[in-house]
Structure 1
């Protein structure tokens, strides 16, 4: 839509501010109407507008009332609310109620222009090019903003999952493709897709919560692709992978000479995502000092590059994700409560794989298609017993673990047929023991026993073939496990072999004491780290999660103990 055709309603009881907003928006070519009270705004809203800019506090009510009435009536106007400085709760409440965005007083005029322009992006071209009268109701009067939603409107909002997840007509093909990449037609995944399609069109921050390996980044990309910012950049940041001393420069940029080695100006993640979306993955790994600086950037919508005295306005939408329970982190003092409420305006929960096992056939087919380059087979056939054996697993690693299992099964298959026997030698990884003397574990159940104990109605009663193009190279074989060696006071040095201390014939009091305690502890820590890395195929992020560490902590330990981090470098 052309900016000169956009109609904007400004609602504010302060004449000076109202006039300032009007003049600023009129200079941008918009058609502007104004109101002083909620009652006047309701009268004005008998006509159609494109954007409603309203203060939260008005003489005869709250601007939130107008927002809720617009939502209940199914009106297309995008609402921007103006909140008092420091009223984070009001801003969060407005965004959750359906506001497109918010502005904090005192309002920067450049920020006002940016937010209004963003609100107008992607609006349907069929909206009124001027302030036109709304279509009449059954009694011949204009449709008032406070008219209640009809049963048909409520039924449309609760339509089937497949229909609810469809992108709006003005969305691009990339948005629909992003939703298709979220494989699965289970009710849980349909609910996720429907929520993505609903929340993508606002500027409200979105927090994605789910276990490791559930596909949080795919969800973030789907939100971005279905938003009016789809044409802008999506900058994905793994907060746990950035050294702490570089966080500020990486996020906010740095000026030439700001630190040793800064030979030129560099932009940060906020500047790189201008006009688009900034995705902060593993936000729970940020240290408290950086959380404070991030909170200010979100509140003020501006950043100060390292070494600069001037702040720069930024126009980004924030999406965050973590596998941690941030509410629990707040209670334990490891995450700022005010930042949590700023980020968690809209929450998207991604279900673990064990809660949507009916998606297994679709996931297997999609993953095998991606693994085709490593298979060496023209077609990969999947037997029903293979799927039934998969369905008995709990999948603590979720879709990432499923991909690992399929990669291994294809590599070990000799005829391109995946059978349950391919999973017999692969039992789910057991937790790494915390004590130095582990108890013996029972032998893993066979695939046949797992199938025998599975529910009768599994949904996988037939086998099917997945046609895969001829691959170029076979997958690397999985290395055999290295047997654990007994540790003694003389041999418990960090030599690289995984060591487990056993004392079957003596009590704990009779256990010989190590002559070098630090070397003995290093050997135990090294053995546990190696076991964890092997269990997740040397994925350091997954190994850290398995041991309750963050990425920086496990990297420090790997470097200190000189542990190889590549599969082909194992001892």
Structure 2
């Protein structure tokens, strides 16, 4: 049995087709106009969509549905080879002439069911993959996950705010996988890592010749995410002029690519994240208040690890188990003293820092056993801003220029430590290009 939606403005045809489908044992619903993509996704295994509708052709709906992974077969009362080719290129699984041949229609339905089953399997696999990367625990984070899952069932925008390293990216993916848009694309963009002059093109795309270097058309993040979810990380770093365009696009679902003459549409669910206090940014004129209320329909505070101390032992075991499953280390265990040490330690880098500590300890343990003594040694050998021996001494008078240089160097080196020495990841977090970060490190170390 398949769940089938018939979309046609010919009411008698819709009635006869749905009755025939029910007679064949399928669930069938008829509509005169194409509903929103989010309404269709997950509710039907196949859409039978008329090419010619009273309000225009069905190709706009076809593009939106197929982008979201919804199987669509086009139907038409007139044979037209050009429309058939256009429909197949746009993603239709078949093009049927009225009246549809029953045997061919059943083959089309079987193909759609196979695709729907495969999509459900892929969805289950993605959820399992994400669950392996999110440790809920029994406290505030478990409650947060539950609340986000409830919000995911709506179409309201979600805002995740909290310190860096707390897990906002996997939480955004969790919301997407738990939503009706889960079979659609999930597109993530770090607003802090986009050069200001290219930000509009990244979001909305551009046409060939729109600016120097635009040698071909390029689709932006909104077009890529149509039918799914667009995750705007570090939304607080978006330039003010672009905030106005983003607000208009969210409200109207219309955008204009750079250099384009007309507007395009995108059916997108917005999730944003920030480590800034956006209300304070509004007060100082750095963020639009109307945009904040639009993206913050469902705001969630992501707690720092200092508010999840009861979860630290479970998180530590979780990261160690994942490391062993990936073959990143030999069989290593961790004693209770080590877990107790981890609970008393401070984590300015939050969950990301705890993960890094576990990976270092597993790699350096000599007897396949992580102890409190080993963890303490690692803290003494690495930089910890909450102990003596920090690379910047606040008590020693220095010329202001030198103090700024050493503080910046200490901060960048700390971020490099938290990302396991990854220049690319550190550059992304700091909102700069990797080559610029490497050059800046060299300048700071040379005393520039």
Q: Which residue number in structure 2 is paired with residue 405 of structure 1?
A: 357
Following the alignment from structure 1 to structure 2, what is the Cα–Cα distance between the partners of residues 396 and 263?
A: 44
Following the alignment from structure 1 to structure 2, what is the Cα–Cα distance between the partners of residues 353 and 248?
A: 35
The CA deviation string for residues 498-553 of structure 1, in whole angstroms up to 9 with x for no partner, is: 899946xxxxxxx9xxxxxxxx655433322221222233569999xx9xx96359
Please give the secondary structure, in 2, of the residue aligned with 1:229.
coil
Following the alignment from structure 2 to structure 1, what is the Cα–Cα distance between the partners of residues 439 and 12?
A: 59
Of 501, 511, 534, the match for 2:413: 534
| Alignment pair present for 1:206 and 2:158 | yes
Please give the secondary structure, in 2, of the residue aligned with 1:236.
strand
Alignment check: 8 A CA contact 2:406 2:444 kept: no
Of 218, 226, 246, the match for 1:274: 226
Q: Which residue number in structure 1 is paired with residue 242 of structure 2?
A: 290
Q: Which residue number in structure 2 is paired with residue 215 of structure 1?
A: 167
Q: Which residue number in structure 1 is paired with residue 321 of structure 2?
A: 369
Please give the secondary structure, in 2, of the residue aligned with 1:219.
helix
Please give the secondary structure, in 2, of the residue aligned with 1:278.
strand
Of 24, 37, 42, the match for 1:122: 42
State the Cα distance separating 1:360 from its structure 2 match: 2.2
State the Cα distance separating 1:415 from its structure 2 match: 1.1
Please give the secondary structure, in 2, of the residue aligned with 1:2.
strand
| Alignment pair present for 1:383 and 2:263 | no
| Alignment pair present for 1:430 and 2:385 | yes
Following the alignment from structure 1 to structure 2, what is the Cα–Cα distance between the partners of residues 195 and 349?
A: 11
Please give the secondary structure, in 2, of the residue aligned with 1:235.
strand
Following the alignment from structure 2 to structure 1, what is the Cα–Cα distance between the partners of residues 323 and 272?
A: 29
Structure 1 unpaired stretches of 5+: 6-22, 32-49, 52-108, 126-168, 432-441, 445-480, 485-497, 504-510, 512-519
TM-score (norm 1): 0.54
Alignment check: 8 A CA contact 2:157 2:298 kept: yes
C-alpha distance 195-555 of structure 1, shift in aligned 2 (>3 A): farther
- Ranked by relative contact order (alpha carbons within 8 Å, sequence separation 6 or more), the top structure is 2
State the Cα distance separating 1:362 from its structure 2 match: 2.6
State the Cα distance separating 1:561 from its structure 2 match: 7.0
Please give the secondary structure, in 1, of the residue aligned with 2:6.
helix
Please give the secondary structure, in 1, of the residue aligned with 2:347.
coil
| Alignment pair present for 1:254 and 2:206 | yes
1:34-433 superposed matches below 5 A: 113=34, 115=36, 117-123=37-43, 172-174=123-125, 176-177=127-128, 178-179=130-131, 181-372=133-324, 378-425=330-377, 426=379, 429-430=384-385
Alignment check: 8 A CA contact 1:4 1:30 kept: no
C-alpha distance 375-382 of structure 1, shift in aligned 2 (>3 A): farther
> More helix per residue: 1 or 2?
2
Following the alignment from structure 2 to structure 1, what is the Cα–Cα distance between the partners of residues 13 and 313?
A: 53
Following the alignment from structure 1 to structure 2, what is the Cα–Cα distance between the partners of residues 27 and 360?
A: 63
State the Cα distance separating 1:230 from its structure 2 match: 1.2
Tell which structure's C-alpha radius of gyration is larger. 1
Please give the secondary structure, in 1, of the residue aligned with 2:280.
helix
Q: Which residue number in structure 2 is paired with residue 155 of structure 1?
A: none
> Over the residues paired in the alignment, what is the CA RMSD in angstroms?
4.2
C-alpha distance 270-387 of structure 1, shift in aligned 2 (>3 A): same
TM-score (norm 2): 0.67
The CA deviation string for residues 22-68 of structure 1, in whole angstroms up to 9 with x for no partner, is: x979799699xxxxxxxxxxxxxxxxxx99xxxxxxxxxxxxxxxxx
C-alpha distance 330-530 of structure 1, shift in aligned 2 (>3 A): same
State the Cα distance separating 1:558 from its structure 2 match: 6.8
Following the alignment from structure 2 to structure 1, what is the Cα–Cα distance between the partners of residues 10 and 160?
A: 35
Aligned residues: 351
Structure 2 unpaired stretches of 5+: 17-28, 46-119
Following the alignment from structure 1 to structure 2, what is the Cα–Cα distance between the partners of residues 113 and 376?
A: 50
C-alpha distance 124-391 of structure 1, shift in aligned 2 (>3 A): farther
State the Cα distance separating 1:344 from its structure 2 match: 0.4
Please give the secondary structure, in 2, of the residue aligned with 1:424.
helix
Alignment check: 8 A CA contact 1:302 1:311 kept: yes
Following the alignment from structure 1 to structure 2, what is the Cα–Cα distance between the partners of residues 424 and 183?
A: 25
| Alignment pair present for 1:525 and 2:445 | no
Q: Which residue number in structure 1 is paired with residue 4 of structure 2?
A: 2
Following the alignment from structure 1 to structure 2, what is the Cα–Cα distance between the partners of residues 229 and 551?
A: 29
